Amino acid sequence: MYDLTSPKQTSELLRSHGIRLQKRLGQNFLCDRNILNNIVASAKLTPNTPVLEVGAGAGALTTALAEHTSRLTSIEIDTHLEPILREVTADYENITLVFQDFMRMDMNALFDSAFGEERGVFVSNIPYYITTPIIEKLIEHKHRWRRAVMLVQQEVANRIVAKPATPDFGSMSLFVQYHTKPEIICKVPPTVFLPAPEVSSCVIALEPIIPGAIAIRNEARMFHLIRAGFGQRRKTLLNALMRAPGSFHLGFGMEDRVRAEAFLAKVGIDGNRRGETLSLEEYGRLSDAYEED
């Protein structure tokens, strides 16, 4: 049996099946026991916790998770890896392998199959090129899971946990922090992957907040305001609201400066501030005030 925490043995396993890793699929296999242990520990599993893994790869994380749960569903898009995964998971009756594109699957049917009536745990070494779509899809179904642990690019992790008025703070920060409680578990160097990526990574954990981190009247309206605030980073909040695309339906045109100034004054927010300095709570106040108007 191959040791999947060894880059050398993982390479030998791939060669024995005639498999070359595909860059277009973002295939960077984690080969480090300490990081694997960190991911499993961060998932906070009990023996009865159902787990959904996306991106099984060669099976290192899959088999590590299988030691701590009685029910693991593992998704892998690359059918060329099926012989390897069948081989390394042969002794695990608690693993269900599914060879499909996660992004094209029916999420309700998948969660029904993987979790049943429970709220399970999502775990993934996410291909970097689809990190944001996967997080968005997860958040769309946040009522179906209780914790998500993911290996993502460090730049993405920094944006997810960023605070207002910092370089990494953006609309993604507010989106994730409204829907979940995020934290960075640990940093992961490129050297523990096969092949080594060009960037560093982080293990992050998300816990869903239902309905959201703050109470607001119109969630969609708040995110319209957030997109407007970040749409033109170098402009003041006042100018950003006035120049927002018509699809945001904010109602402030270039001729409405006085009305926009009065609106911001009513909320107690200085229109000379930039959108990236506002907190989630302040965007919530803006959204509720707009609904009142």
Which amino acid is present at 21? L
Which amino acid is present at 63? T
Domain map (residue ranges) of the chain: 7-208, 219-292
Residue with tokens 């970040």: 230
pLDDT of residue 91: 96
Residue with tokens 């100034």: 261
Summarize pLDDT for 4-16 with one digit per residue, the tens: 999 999 999 999 9
DSSP E strand stretches across the chain: 29-30, 50-54, 71-75, 95-98, 120-125, 145-153, 180-188, 193-194, 201-208
pLDDT of residue 241: 81
* Percentage of the chain exceeding pLDDT 70: 96
Selected from 3.10.450.50, 3.40.50.150, 3.40.50.720, 3.60.110.10, the CATH number assigned to the domain covering 7-208 reads 3.40.50.150
Fold that domain 219-292 belongs to in CATH? Helicase, Ruva Protein; domain 3 (1.10.8)
pLDDT of residue 149: 98
* Long-range Cβ contacts of 111-116 (<8 Å, 24+ apart): 111/52, 111/141, 111/144, 111/145, 113/73, 114/50, 114/51, 114/52, 114/71, 114/73, 115/50, 115/52, 115/144, 115/145, 116/50
Tell me which of 70-84, 124-138, 254-268 is least confident: 254-268
Summarize pLDDT for 210-243 with one digit per residue, the tens: 999 999 999 999 999 999 899 877 789 988 888 7
